[in-house]
Structure 1
Amino acid sequence: MKILVCIKQVPDMESKFKIDDAGTWYSKADLAWRMNEYDEYAVEQAVQVKEQLKEGDITVLCIGSDKVKETMKKALAMGCDRGAHVSDEDSSLKEPLQIAGVIAEYARDKGFDLIFTGMQSQDRGSGQVGLLVAEMLGLPGVSTVVDFSIEGGVIAAKRELEGGMKACVSLKVPAVITCQLGLNTPRYPTLPNIMKAKKKELISTPIAELLKVDARQGTEKMYFPEKKGGGLVLEGETPELVEQLVKILKEKTSVLS
């Protein structure tokens, strides 16, 4: 079973974000970096499949500067066998169609049985890349997967739908799966596996060799939402609160009218 799992390095969501000088993305200065949370579920599921089948080979792919190699090492320590780094200093400027095109170009002739991605990235949040890869490779794709099993080359999966509903689907490999929160619990890399990860193959390829799709859209502007007025906290006994609330509503109504 040949498996490709695609990950992205993103800022820690607790970071204090600023808009960059170009006004089209966030500034990368003074940020802590980590693996995209949804991609952790993808890595874990890939490793679980290998463990279940007692055979397999997992390649982890990441696009970005040399900095992303640290995040890739975590995936290697979790159980991936080798790393494919697509070197690109301007990966944040690439739109989902281009990112998917790079992944598809890398995977096209390598005979992967399964391709796992996160449902979306925590910074851009487009939710498009995984299914675009499936379309470009002519493979079936299942998104927002929260339950996954495979037997005899047949996948049984549950997709999360809006309103808490779930849809059960069945498909054969090869296929592309995008992973949602709740699919599994990602493991913590052990110290021995962290040490082993340092010796695993991690090859870099310039993005120019894989970028075959032209940009058809671009980000014109990024900005923080305008701040709105804060809420009003009413204090006192219930009768007093009712009186205060009625007074406020009357004032608001008179202003609107």
Structure 2
Amino acid sequence: MNILVCIKQVPDMESRFKANGEGVWYEETDLAFRMNEYDEYAVEQAVKLKEQLGDAPEVTVLSIGPDRVVEAIKKALAMGCDRALHVRDPAVHLKDPWQIASIISGYARDKGFDLIFTGMQSQDRGSAQVGVTVAEQLGYACVTTLVGFSYADGAITARRELEGGVKGVVRMKTPALLTCQLGLNVPRYPTLPNIMKAKKKEIVTVPVADLLKEEPLAATTGFYPPAKKGGGIVLEGDVADMADRLVGILKDKTAVLR
């Protein structure tokens, strides 16, 4: 079995974000970066399947971005992936989901991947469009929001989370693409021996121009934080007095009670 897992490097969500000079993305200076959380579940599931099936499967990890994404690739290799492709693109933040999917499918189309795992969505953009678009471009069956997975006798049983906490079960044959989310598994922590082994694993780098032939369907025209809201007012003292003061504030500041 031939398995592909797609990952993205994103800023740590605890970072302080501000718009860059062009006003179309965030300023990356001084930001800490990590593997997208949902992609960690995808890597773990790909490696678990490899372990289930023995040594025959090969897991390839793919990531698109500038040179810094190699750190996320190395983590995936240390978790158990076998080889890696780094699609070097310093301007990946300007690509829309259609273009990102086209890069992935452009690489995967002639590689004979039986399964492709991706995260449900990225934490920085949150479009949840890339995985399903790759499946459409390749003609693969697709299951999203995966929270359960099993493979036996050439068939996949996938459990997915639907609206309202309802669970749906889907059975399918390969080739297929699955998008993964919280609840599917617990990603392993790379051990020191596996980190050392990962240093010897192959990372192939190709320029994005070798794979991308599509023009964007959408472009970001503005990027800015939400407008700051005014501070709150804390009322203290006697309850009756606070109630009177509150009524006065509501009359003065809003249309309530007018």
Which bin holds the TM-score, normalised by the shorter protein? over 0.9
1:211 and 2:219 aligned: no
**Alpha-carbon distance, 1:96 to partner:** 0.4
Cα distance in 1 for residues equivalent to 2:252 and 2:219: 45
> What does residue 31 of structure 2 align with?
31
**Equivalent residue number for residue 114 of structure 2:** 113
1:43-80 Cα offsets, whole Å, 9 max, x none, are 00100111112231000000011211111000000000
Work out whether residues 250 and 256 of structure 2, in 8 Å CA contact, stay in contact via their aligned partners in 1.
Answer: no
Q: Counterpart of 1:18? A: 18
**Deviation, structure 1 residue 243:** 5.1
- Cα deviation, residue 248, structure 1: 4.5
Greater Cα offset, 240-249 or 84-93: 240-249
What is the Cα deviation at residue 124 of structure 1?
Answer: 0.9
Q: Distance in 1 between matches of 2:160 and 2:235?
A: 43
Q: In structure 1, what is the equivalent of residue 98 of structure 2?
A: 97
How big is the shift at 1:231? 3.3
CA distance in 1, matches of 2:107, 2:22: 30
Q: Which residue number corresponds to residue 84 of structure 1?
A: 85
The alignment's C-alpha RMSD in Å is 1.8
Kindly provide the CA deviation profile for residues 155-185 of structure 1, in whole angstroms up to 9, marking residues without a partner as x: 1112112222222111111100001111111
Provide structure 1 residue ranges, at least 5 long, that are not aligned to the other structure: none
TM-score (norm 1): 0.94
Deviation for aligned residue 1:34: 0.7
Instruction: Tell me how far 1:139 sits from its aligned partner.
Output: 0.7
User: Shift of the alpha carbon at 1:109?
Assistant: 0.6
More moved, 92-101 vs 245-254: 245-254
The residue identity in structure 2 corresponding to 1:46 is A
1:129 and 1:106 mapped to 2: Cα distance?
A: 14
SS of residue in 2 equivalent to 1:23: coil
Question: How far apart, in 1, do the equivalents of 2:53 and 2:95 lie?
Answer: 36
**2:5–2:61 CA contact under 8 A, matched in 1:** yes
Equivalenced residue count is 257
Does structure 1 conserve the Cα–Cα contact (< 8 Å) formed by 2:18 and 2:224? Answer: no
SS in 2 for 1:208: helix
In 2, the alpha carbon distance for the partners of 1:195 and 1:16 equals: 33
Q: In the TM superposition, what whole-angstrom CA distance separates every residue of 1:99-148 from its partner, at most 9, and x where no partner exists?
A: 00000010001111110000111111111000000000001111111111
